[in-house]
Amino acid sequence: SAVAGGEDCLWYVDRNGSWHPGFDCEFFTFCCGTCHQRYCCRDPLRLLTERQQRHCLAFSPKTIAGIASAVVLFIAIVTTIVCCFMCSCCYLYQRRRHPNTPLQG
């Protein structure tokens, strides 16, 4: 497809993990660079298409590992709390079954 110029650079994360907002290129300039460094240029052969930029946004292995760890931790915490309410040896179970009675004098 023909490119008329004025292509936008989408947001990106550089190699240091710093987030950079997207920006517009002037007319007859294009978004160029790599997944981790973007700039505007006039050379259409160095064009970084929007599709290529979106491909850069795909989850990295580190991101997937972080999300998976968070999910496992959340499930472990919820499971622990539910088990503690159901196990007769647990303090929360005993509190629920035998609430404190007011002192009678």
Burial of 53 (0-12, 13-18, 19+ CB in 10 A): buried
Residue-level pLDDT at 104: 54
What is the rounded CA–CA span in Å between residue 26 and residue 11? 17
pLDDT at 97 over 60: yes
Residue-level pLDDT at 1: 39
The residue among 9, 7, 12 whose CA lies nearest residue 56 is 12
Q: What is the mean pLDDT of residues 75-96?
A: 81
Q: Which residues pair with 24 in a beta bridge?
A: 8
- DSSP letter at 47? B
The residue among 80, 69, 1, 9 whose CA lies nearest residue 39 is 9
pTM comes to 0.52
pLDDT in tens, 41-53: 999 899 999 889 9
Q: What is the mean pLDDT of residues 35-64?
A: 85
Strand 23-24 with 8-9, pairing: antiparallel
Residue-level pLDDT at 13: 86
Domain ranges of the chain: 1-59, 62-99
pLDDT at 80 over 70: yes
Residue-level pLDDT at 2: 44
Strand 38-41 with 30-33, pairing: antiparallel
